[in-house]
A and B are shown apart, each in its own frame.
Chain A
Amino acid sequence: MAGLIIAESAIFTIFVVAYLFYLGKSITGPTPSEVLETPILYTICLLSSSLTIHLAAKSLERNYIRLFLGFWLLTIALGGLFLYGTAQEWHRLIYEHGLTISTNLFGTTYYSLVGLHGFHVTAGLIMLVIVALLGLSGRVGVKQSGRVAVLSMYWHFVDAVWVVVFTVVYVLGR
């Protein structure tokens, strides 16, 4: 998983570089400062999900299955909320501001960077849900805690990437 994370980091680096390289190079509007709003609430959701998944993995190690399931489902809920936030933002951008991936360079780089991250959140959520279903049917125990720890590593990575994306897109990019 560490290897995968290194590889994924390189992919994200390239997209971040492209985003930074093309900042302010768009020939037509809308520009980031006109349309972007900082999604503070949803960012808090995603970042706190890192904490809950950590607590879940720890509880599983100590064999507190119910506690594990509780934190695990909370993580899924927080991740889902974040995705909902992204969806809302995209909806607003597309229907109110008419910004799509082919509108201008900002649209191209913004949707691909945030979309790539969203794709990773989605993939992570699918894996989390699978574990949750297995857990609810009573098939996750201490024996699986190693695998759950690996999955939580992936989730931490997705969160860390969001910190970078957030900084680049919503702080530096405006």
Chain B
Amino acid sequence: MASDAITVPVGQIKARPWVDELHQWLTTVDHKRLGILYIVSSLLFLGFGGVEALVIRIQLMHSHNNFVSPEVFNRMFTMHGTTMIFFVAMPILFGFANYLVPLMIGARDMAFPRLNAFSFWLSFLGGLLLYFSFLGGSGLYGAGSAPDVGWWSYAPLGARAFSPGHSSDYWTLALLVSGFGSIGTAINIIATILCLRCPGMKINRMPLLVWMNLVMAGMVLLAITPLSAAQIMLLIDRYLGGHFFDTQAGGSAVLWMHFFWIFGHPEVYVLIIPCFAFMSEIIPVFSRKPIFGYPVMVAATVCIAFVSMSVWAHHMFTIGMNSYANSFFTLTTMAVGVPTGIKIFNWIGTMWGGRIQFKTPMLFSIAFLFQFLIAGLTGIMMAASPFDWQLSLSYFVVAHFHYVIVGGILFALFAAFYYWYPKMTGRMLSERLGKWHFWLFLIGFHLTFDVMHVPGVLGMPRRIYTYEPGRGWDTLNLIISIGAFIQALAILVFVANLVISYFQGARAGNDPWDAWTLEWSTSSPPPAYNFATVPTVASRRPLWDRKHPEDPDSRYE
């Protein structure tokens, strides 16, 4: 198949000095470069957040451990949570969206390239601001450096009286700044998808990845903004002497919880929906079948987005809401399970009867399906408010949401890395190292997070820096910590794979997976202009039509 790129004779490409190269990366407005910047910077923060997780696990390895002080421990779990959600998961998913959406809809770039660059730098510098707190947080007070009040920063812990110094200010400002970045990117994604589709790419022919990113971007607009508003209120409280969350002046600590979780729960879906998107692209290609139930998938995604906006208070069953609120949020939370279940059935339906190729992306995808299902099941358990009263704020909850975030989101991200790395760099990732990465990470993950449910049921609360011996928690915690180190080892294998394959990987060619969406029709990596001629599309699988002109999809849709 002919490439869509214009070939430049070798003699015309001159090596540029590295300063030029750096300058180009810093000032770029190209969606592909920004996508890669997003991804690389998120990997950097993943390293930071991972080290913090390891510190937590070393400290909890056995009872009465003195590896770090209680104050440092508080900083570690606060920074771990904040980093992983705001500066790893969100930007890395935005990075993939940035890179893939214009390519998949046959566009030259995002709708607002400069807004795109602005959003990236806001997010990235927000992250740096958060980490600068380690140096600058103590200010004049000498009162602790990094934020240490948990990633919820529940009132009144975030108030001046309980969080002196500047640590909480760094937290607030970093989240506010990166939140504005997220809003900018979301607007950009929506405008791109609605306005820049190539001829023939009707809205019901868009790849599911594009659909789901559209829904995700819409959710970002409604979910991130309450957090930004709440951060502004917190700043007013801390700097202008306001009383929003000051209970002594009649303010309400519960209001902060509501505002935080109105953001916090949709945020989970903002993170998981792009992962559904990866699954919906990867599973069909490696099952050699088109996706099962395309319209239902779209409907389920939109449905999840709607319902997930009204479930936030299931994070707050233990604060003592009335029984009507408890029942309402129990019911809505369980209702989210329905469209999610539809999706899982559709993916299995796609695999059913297909000729499945067990390449590394597919391995991660299958693991995602199982783990996400289990995470959903414990989610349904927690949704029942009486059950939640027993186990809320225990390690059971920690295990549950790590099952979603690591077992779901991170596995899906790894699948996406193995699948699209050839497109981004022109080189294949090593399958051998990939298999090592997969199995090590799988074993480490299950060792850590399967076992973690048990101390939760036994009553181990979250966020404690140590515990008494003889409560039956010691061995379990040791196993959990060992699992964490196996995962860290797997991540090292992954990073090694990324680096080694960049220089020595096999050449990918345009379309190494024999896939069906438009990004595979241009060269790897794609040229700055993406497509030399604007592609036209007649079905949901444009490349299938091009490869099989005798039996095109467009005949059946």
Contact = CB atoms under 8 A, between A and B. Distances in A.
Interface in A1-47: 3-4, 6-8, 10-11, 13-15, 18, 21-22, 25-27
A108 B238 CA distance: 12
A128 interface: no
Contacts of A27: 249-250
Interface string B205-237: 000000000000110011011101110110011
Contacts of B240: 101-102
A11 B229 contact: yes
A15 B229 contact: yes
B242 interface: yes
A48 interface: no
Nearest to B262: A14
A112 interface: yes
A125 B252 CA distance: 35
Contacts of A6: 218, 221-222
Contacts of A108: 236-237, 242-244, 251
A104 B242 CA distance: 8
Interface residues of A, number: 24
Contacts of A7: 183, 186-187, 221-222, 224-225
A114 to B, nearest CB: 13
- Range, interface on chain B: 20 to 34
A105 interface: yes
B259 interface: yes
Contacts of A18: 233, 244, 255, 259
B233 A112 contact: yes
Nearest to A28: B249
B242 A101 contact: yes
A11 B225 contact: yes
A32 to B, nearest CB: 14
B244 A109 contact: yes
Interface in B168-188: 183, 186-187
A14 B250 contact: no
Given A21-B255, A26-B250, A112-B232, A14 B221 contact: no
Given A14-B225, A25-B250, A101-B236, 19 more contacts: A3-B187, A3-B217, A3-B221, A4-B187, A7-B224, A7-B225, A11-B225, A11-B228, A22-B244, A22-B250, A26-B250, A102-B241, A102-B243, A105-B243, A105-B251, A108-B237, A108-B251, A109-B244, A112-B236
